[in-house]
Structure 1
Amino acid sequence: MREQIIGRELAHVLRTGPFSAALHLAIEASGLRMEEIQTRLADQGIMVSQTTLAYWRRGRSRPERPASLRAVGALEGILGLPADALTAQLGPRRPRGRWLDHPPGTMEMAEVWSDSKGLAELLAAINTPVHNILHRVSMHDLFVIGPDRGAVTLATRAVVRATADKVSRSVFVYHNDEGEGGLPTVHPVRNCRIGRSRTDPGGEFLVAELIFDRVLGTGDTAAIEYELRFGPGALSDHYHRAFPAEAGDYLLQVQFDPEALPARCFRYSRRRENAPDQGVREVWVGAAHGAHLVDRDIAPGLVGLRWEWD
């Protein structure tokens, strides 16, 4: 089972990056020890220290010199990967200093929402650019609608995997795109606590840090749960989850009050919040008054459900 999970995550990361995560999972899948990898490289006349390999694996440095790039090509063969599988993750040589460019398969967080300027300012105020170094293995949202057709709670369970060392937190963004009821409050439920939070003057965006109960190293996972609680008047006819980076599995459940059942319900996806709906399909509201969608290998963008009351 573990081998299947690693193989699945490796296939995903080879499409999306970053290099460190791809190398780490490839080594895990191969079952080779670091000293064995170093020896096989040496057999090809390529001298790389175990420390250097560990740094590449943890994202503390990356290969850039010609000799290092030759080592990466050799690693592809040693680890049983297709040609250029790791090399393609490196891209152009990065500038010196802090690397803020987002890797393949991701978007800047503010790009996903329609009012990117206001959100970008809130994200800059918190200054925790972690979405590029956390792979969302799975997400589960439970959105509860009350008898007045208003949002009551949004309960979220998330499993994330770090693709670099010393990852201690994630960032949550909520957009009140309907402009009613104000912004919700966010509450930790399990394995996390709330750090800094910011809202914009217009009351459209809430940005909050979710601090894990431990610091993650490369390949480590965190399973966190948190809840949004809405005030009166938060009328809603849809909910979507925004994914700035590719993700694994996503389950969205919408639970309706028996006194507020919709006439019809649809699933949809969008590249950005203000983009046209794609993949629209009607979803059944069951006898237990709920609807849901399940998706896998999520592309950057939004996935959600919307409903019609009449």
Structure 2
Amino acid sequence: MQQKLRAAGTPVAAASLSYWQTGRSLPRRASSLRAVDELERLLNLPAGHLSQLLPQRAEDNKRPWDVISKRDLLHDCLERLDLSVARWRGVVNHDHVIIGPQRNEVSITSTQLVHSKIDGMRAFPAIYFQDSLDPVSPSIVAVTNCVVVEQIQVPEEHLVVARLELPRALERGEPSLHAYRIECAPSTVPSHRWERSLAAKHDHLVNTVEFLGDPPTQATGYYKGKAEIAGLPNPEDHRNLESEPLKVSGGIIQQIAPQALSGVHGVSWQW
């Protein structure tokens, strides 16, 4: 069987096959999951017969949007768009935020590298809450390797949720790199922070904030998530905040987080 897997382009060590069979270890990496799919084919088993036996990890059982505010409203929007993050795993997320001369958010370009968890994964969500005192309608446009199929705007909640689709459906374990841009609605509210909520752990997360006018005097990077993991009543409690000072260089702030945990990763600044 090991030779057949190698011939099919999905090599697996004999020891790994033995460990999988006894449960000593489980296939988790994209290459291992492709090998499981090939095993099903070689053994003439229905697609998914072996992979469905793999136990889900704790982070897979977690409600994906628990780390995001206004959960019920967001959940309703995702249901209307027939979207779920359970179909893919985020690997890299880079947000490039543009702050205009009036100190308000102008646009955010998000570039994401994901791996599909299933065969046929094609659609993914884009979500944005804009800071504003008045009802606003931000919008989302495709940039690279995707199209916007539909978007829901909720002006009174300053929210937009979009369904984006890749040019084709992915196979299980297949990676894809795509990008979209959020175009903020006109606002007079000065921006003081940017936050990215992660539903699950990512290999890398980067928040870049670029100021077209005068830069802030100081900046801080932070992570919120411990309170929620511990089951405390208020996950936004700043007593559970991990923070670090960030440099403002050339009108740009960068927060780089390798092995970024699920939760809220943010950058705040003072004018």
Q: TM-score if structure 2 supplies the norm length?
A: 0.77
**Alignment of structure 1 residues 1-310 onto 2, 5 Å:** 22=28, 25-26=31-32, 34=38, 50-52=43-45, 55-56=48-49, 59=51, 62-63=52-53, 89-90=54-55, 104-106=58-60, 107-129=62-84, 131-179=85-133, 182-200=136-154, 202-233=156-187, 235-257=190-212, 259-271=213-225, 274-276=236-238, 278-286=241-249, 288-309=250-271
CA contact (8 A) 2:219 2:248 kept: yes
1:138 is paired with a residue whose SS is strand
Q: Which amino acid aligns with 2:266?
A: G
Structure 2 distance, partners of 1:21, 1:123, is 30
Larger helix share, 1 or 2:
1
5+ residue gaps, structure 1, are 1-18, 39-47, 64-88, 92-102
1:304 is paired with a residue whose SS is strand
Deviation at 1:161, TM superposition (A): 0.7
Structure 1 distance, partners of 2:93, 2:71, is 24
Larger strand share, 1 or 2:
2
- Deviation readout 1:242-267 (Å, 9 max, x if unpaired): 1112212111110012x331111000
CA contact (8 A) 2:219 2:270 kept: yes
Shift in CA distance, 303/50, structure 1 to aligned 2, threshold 3 Å: same
Aligned length: 236
Q: Which amino acid aligns with 1:216?
A: L
CA contact (8 A) 1:153 1:229 kept: yes
CA contact (8 A) 2:113 2:177 kept: yes
Deviation at 1:236, TM superposition (A): 1.2
* Fraction of identical pairs, as percent: 18
Deviation at 1:127, TM superposition (A): 2.2
5+ residue gaps, structure 2, are 1-24, 229-234
Structure 2 distance, partners of 1:267, 1:255, is 15
Structure 2 distance, partners of 1:301, 1:281, is 16
Deviation at 1:211, TM superposition (A): 0.4
Deviation at 1:217, TM superposition (A): 0.6
Deviation at 1:20, TM superposition (A): 9.5
